[in-house]
Chain A
Amino acid sequence: MSGFDAALTAEAADLLYREAWHLDSRDWAAWLALYSEDAIFWAPAIAGEEGFSGDPDNDVSLIYLDRAGLEARIFRIEGRDSFASAPLPHTAHVVGNVRAAETKGAEIEVSATWLVNSFRRTDPPILRAGRYAYTLRRTAAGLAIARKTVYVLDDRIVGPIDIFNI
């Protein structure tokens, strides 16, 4: 990220914290409402020893979803018919090291780190960690998420990965 803007960082951090809170509270509608209509949610896959996959149209990603894809994930979660995700684990997101800067196109670039702990009685606890890269856009209703990139650092994945536990 090129610059750093303290006021903008505080505003962006508030959005990231609210997003994490909605996921941990399972308030899926409030969570989705943070995303713009043309939003992309992208979790690249590991590629080689130190890198991640790149172009989502040529490389495999862990998750690459548009808004309809995100809505369908909520449909899957709320339907409680997925063997892997019913009952849902309890999650706690910790988001830190947030830094934001405005870019030329009036969009806001945000970087952050994350930890998610997941607990379910039948499984061992799962701790995951990674980095976020967001593109936020200013709208009449406040900041919206236009793009979220989630770098998942685990290269040996234990338990299912879904939008609520990364």
Chain B
Amino acid sequence: MTGASAQSLVDDRPGDGIFRVRRAAFVEPALFERELERIFQRCWNYICHDSQVRERGQYVRGSIGRYPVFAIRGLDGEIRCFHDSCPHRGSMLTRGRSGVQPTITCRYHGWAFNADGRCIRVRGRDAGYSREALERLGTDLKPVARVASYRGFVFASLDPDVEDLETFLGGARPFVDLMADQSEEGMEVLKGESTYVMRANWKLQTENSTDGYHVATVHRNFAHTVRQREALAGEADDARARTEASRILDLESISSGGYDMGNGHMINWSDRGSPESAPLNEARGAIAARFGEGKARWMIDRGRTVTIFPNFFLNDVASTCIRLWRPVAVDLTEIDTWCLAPIGESAAARRARIRKYEDFFLPSSIAVPDDVRAMEVAHAGSLAAGGEAWNDLALGYATMVEGADDAARELGAAPLHSNPGRESETPFYAFWREWRRRMDGP
């Protein structure tokens, strides 16, 4: 299997109605190395939200595949991204995962750089280095080839020839906008971060992020647990504080769907059974006035997961979440999660948003640990027979339609294909076609 092409791992025969993925795609170490090179080193990679680098000199550490990088707001206000590596002898420069360092000093030999990346000090420069040597070695920080921001979400790419970020995000942009447009004052990442570990391949998280089929099985316990809590707490609470569980337990009574947005991006959505439980509901009037009723319906009445190729998602279902999953090894993934909130929302909405975020999105919640377990077990089981067996992604094939459905048209979004129903696997085709294209491409 070591030399397997992605072609032989993805059996995509639209004419025959067949789409299968060999489980080796998740467990084969040689493929993992190829993914770092073919996907992560060439793709746009999410680094941070601009609210995390508000001040000049404020930085956030990130990674592109295994490469350490950091984003920093420069003295001129521009967000840049640099390799987290001293030009002198390669030491990592950031002291922590985030912070403010208007002057970045390498702790090893004392070279210093300003937040724009310019070298401002080489210790012992005049005595020890010839002018020619300094010119040859290049003393400024090495920028990551491309940095771009879309609606506050900052991405970077190691490939100088990568397509524009807007082109890459393509059809997923209207769904990113649904997160970015929730407040006229902008969005902010809340204080309180979490990084957790999954002993499974990163692509299981990509699939699971858009997989609506597991919700009723893995998360029925979440729904039952919050219902139990709400019954114990009585009816006195603010409607916003209640968690809307009908989307999990009563799928037949709500509308839902899944889209292939092109370039490997996937959407999964479900109507909220009780939109008044959405913290954003207080802004309905203002949002409808700014964007129209259709977009207000998408922002408030529908929960959505927006999975951006290859390892990033925005989830606005129980609460608002940014999640990034980093490939560490073929069977090890580190996952970062942040709560993204509208600036200026009421104290009651903020409190409800945070409580619901804690309920679902953390390794200490009553949902994410069950997801992590599901993915770890999927990875372990995929090792059976050397990963030779197929995942046949046939679920929902018969109901898939070309192009948009009514809900997508309401947003002005243009899926390549739609599926009326969350419990379909057809949105995965978006990811796997892009994965194969990049893995086998030139």
Contacts and interface: CB of A to CB of B under 8 A. Distances in A.
Interface residues of A, number: 42
A158 B369 contact: no
A48 B195 contact: no
B96 A72 contact: no
B160 to A, nearest CB: 33
B204 interface: no
Contacts of B193: 45-47, 60
Given A157-B194, A160-B363, A63 B358 contact: yes
Interface stretch (B115-123, B168-176, B217-225): B217-225
A82 interface: yes
Contact of B192 (A60, A69, A71, A84): A60
A61 B192 contact: yes
A72 B357 CA distance: 17
A14 interface: no
A58 B357 CA distance: 12
B97 interface: yes
Contact of B191 (A59, A66, A84): A59
A11 B192 CA distance: 34
Given A75-B225, A161-B364, A57 B197 contact: no
Interface in B209-253: 218, 220-221, 224-226, 228-229, 232-233
Interface stretch (B303-311, B346-354, B420-428): B346-354
A123 to B, nearest CB: 8
A71 to B, nearest CB: 5
Residue from B191, B196, B370 whose CB has the most chain A CB atoms within 10 Å: B191
A149 interface: no
A75 B366 CA distance: 11
A133 to B, nearest CB: 17
B96 A48 contact: yes
Contacts of B195: 155-157
B196 A75 contact: no
Contacts of B350: 57-58
A162 interface: yes
B229 A68 contact: yes
B364 A84 contact: no
A57 B347 contact: yes
A32 to B, nearest CB: 12
Nearest to A51: B191
Nearest to B190: A60
Contact of A75 (B98, B228, B358, B369): B228
A166 B197 CA distance: 17
Contacts of A72: 225-226, 228-229, 232, 366
Contact of A60 (B196, B229, B357, B377): B357
A60 B358 CA distance: 7
B192 A53 contact: yes
B334 interface: yes
Contact of A47 (B191, B357, B363, B373): B191
Interface string B29-51: 00000000000000000000000
Interface in B272-297: none
Contact of B190 (A44, A58, A83): A58
Interface string A127-166: 0000000000000000000000000100111111110001
Interface of A: 43-49, 53-54, 56-64, 66, 68-69, 71-73, 75-76, 79, 81-85, 152, 155-162, 166
Rank and list the top 9 A-B pairs by shortest CB-CB distance, nearest first: A60-B192, A160-B369, A84-B369, A72-B229, A53-B192, A49-B96, A45-B192, A161-B364, A68-B232
